[in-house]
Amino acid sequence: MTSLKHTRYRQFFPSLNGTNQPFAYLDSAASTQVPEVVLKDIEQYYRQGHANVHRASHSFARHATNAFELARKTLAEFIGAKAQNLIWTSGTTQAANLLADGLAHLVDEGDEIWVSELEHHSNLVPWQQLAFKRKANLKVIPVLDNGDIDLAYFRQQLSDKCKIVAVAHVSNSIGAMQPIPELSRLAHQFGAKIVVDGAQAVAHLDVDVNRLACDYYLFSGHKLYGPTGIGALYGSEEALELLEPSVFGGEMINKVSFETSTWNSLPYRLEAGTPNIAGAIGLASAIKFLAQFPLKERLSHERQLLAYALQQLKQHPKVELVGEPMMRVGLIAFNLQGIHPQDAATLFDQYNVALRCGHHCAMPLSSRLSPEGSIRLSLGLYNNQQDIDQAIEAIDKIMELFGE
Amino acid sequence: MNRAPQVELNIEQIEQRFVNCKSWEERYRQLLLLSKVLGPMDSQYQTQENLVQGCESDVWLYYANTQLVVDSNAKIIKGLLVIVLASFAQDAENTQITFSQTLEKLGLAHHLSESRNNGITAILQNIAKLS
């Protein structure tokens, strides 16, 4: 059983066990810790014989190809998709760039690309650059004071000039969940494609791309208890067919002569070069790790812990919350009265509390809600009540140290 | 324009302040007190141009009439900037070395010197270009 006080998940994460001082890792929105079984599976892959995929017919290559394609299936099913609809990428950022390049042909001068004010840079800058390149207009769905997007404004402004809508499922700086099914419906009403950045959502929600009705969904392995350098781009069949490759070479090639080249079929057409095979296997291992626990129990543990943290922070007289979205997922942003977030983060570190401070790679949102930045507390499966209490105690000590 | 140095404390005086510190909390408290020594920068100089790159907090630096003026909106950084200024005053060419040695002596090196985001590294690089 798992409770706020004890989480049965923590024991599976070697980095959080075995130190003398309790270490409160509350920075899972940046990167999650990795369970033992993932480390073991990655090592075992190399130990059993590593080879490139889809190339040779010897046994190492067959083994690698099978494991790699099985990993694709595992990951695709995790978000309710078919294996052939999942493209391996190095992470969310690469997936967004692949899309911004691959969809450039949809965008003409004077067209619109919509993002929201709470996007992090990876799902903003590629679209901004595409808008520059195509002389299109980058339009922004503004954020209300509580951190939710102004859906009414978007409904009013959206027109058939819009070709692409790119939004985060969950904001990485304030945890606000966006109404994706409604945004998808609106985008499709005007014939636009909708790209959903799921980096902060996949570990904390029951993600089903069919229910979200989006064209593309992107996420990273390192926020999902997997290794870095691996992630995925899901697309509906029609949406993936629309993508023109922008990175060339390796398995994405079908035939090449000096005059012309033709491309392989999907998903390989969009996977240039040798993929991160061990990364894919590691990420699939992380998914299998998660799947051994009932989904309801996992999500409810996190929700309860988040509610507890929110209650503790709200009660604290020196804590100022940044954004109070209707639907909050995985994290809380706040400031300590009169203390610069960086000063706070330096001291949190001294108290063995790992938090993030700054703009969380979402500078436009930060300048809207909290210009000096904020402190972000974000949760993973392994966190328990003790981690939150340790953070609250640290806040008291920091306030004392600052003498305020 | 003739102005008094921004900070009159020298390295030795700074080290004196930390002599009786027994815990890291006391050392940080001294560092916070040190930050109060640094008078605020004229807001007209807090420009984009004087803003040092690569910080999670804002750090400004300008240099005029052989006078180095710095400021930050984060207190721990301000405290460290006082040590930077004293190091600069002692021997401009060896600012970085004196700064690192002082942090080491004060028992602050372990956590603060490695942080690349706090702007101190960028400040030291800018100073190195000056001397």
pLDDT (tens, 9 = 90+) of chain A, 404 residues, equals 567 777 899 999 999 987 777 899 999 999 999 999 999 999 999 999 999 998 788 999 999 999 999 999 999 999 999 999 999 999 999 999 999 999 999 999 999 999 999 999 999 999 999 999 999 999 999 999 999 999 999 999 999 999 999 999 999 999 999 999 999 999 999 999 999 999 999 999 999 999 999 999 999 999 999 999 999 999 999 999 999 999 999 889 999 999 999 999 999 999 999 999 999 999 999 999 999 999 999 999 999 999 999 999 999 999 999 999 999 999 999 999 999 998 998 899 999 999 998 776 667 777 778 878 899 999 999 999 999 999 999 999 999 998 85
**Is A80 in a helix, a strand, or coil?**
coil
Q: Quick one: tokens of A247?
A: 């990175």
Global pTM reads: 0.92
Q: Is A350 an 8 Å CB contact of chain B?
A: yes
Dist. CA A89–CA A229, nearest whole Å: 8
Closest CA to A325 of A59, A63, A117: A117
Smallest CA–CA distance from B80 into chain A, residue: A343
Q: How far is B29 from chain A (nearest CA, A)?
A: 6
Please report which helix (H) or strand (E) contains residue A332, including its range.
strand A331-336
Q: Are B106 and B27 in contact (CB under 8 A)?
A: yes
CB contact under 8 A, B32 and A401: yes
The answer to whether the complex's ipTM is over 0.90 is no
Closest CA to A183 of A146, A153, A208, A205: A153
Give me the helices (H) in A245-378, please.
277-291, 295-315, 341-350, 363-369
Q: Are A377 and A298 in contact (CB under 8 A)?
A: no
Q: Is A349 an 8 Å CB contact of chain B?
A: yes
Question: Residues with Cβ < 8 Å from A268, sequence gap 6 or more?
Answer: A54, A251, A252
Distance of CA A326 to the CA centre of its chain: 20
The number of beta carbons lying within 10 Å of the beta carbon of residue A16 is 20
Cross-strand partners of A138: A113
Counting DSSP H helices and E strands in chain B, the numbers are 6, 2
Cross-strand partners of A319: A336
| Preceding peptide of A267 cis, ω within 30° | yes
Dist. CA A26–CA A177, nearest whole Å: 19
**Is B43 in a helix, a strand, or coil?**
helix
Active site residue A214: no
Pairing of strands A112-116, A137-141: parallel
Phi, psi for residue A253 in degrees, rounded to 5: -85, 145
Q: Is A401 an 8 Å CB contact of chain B?
A: yes
Distance of CA A255 to the CA centre of its chain: 35
Dist. CA A144–CA B41, nearest whole Å: 34
Q: Are A42 and A281 in contact (CB under 8 A)?
A: yes
Best B57, B59, B111, B114 member to test A by mutation, with max A CBs in 10 Å, is B57
**Amino acid found at A38:** V
Cross-strand partners of B51: B60
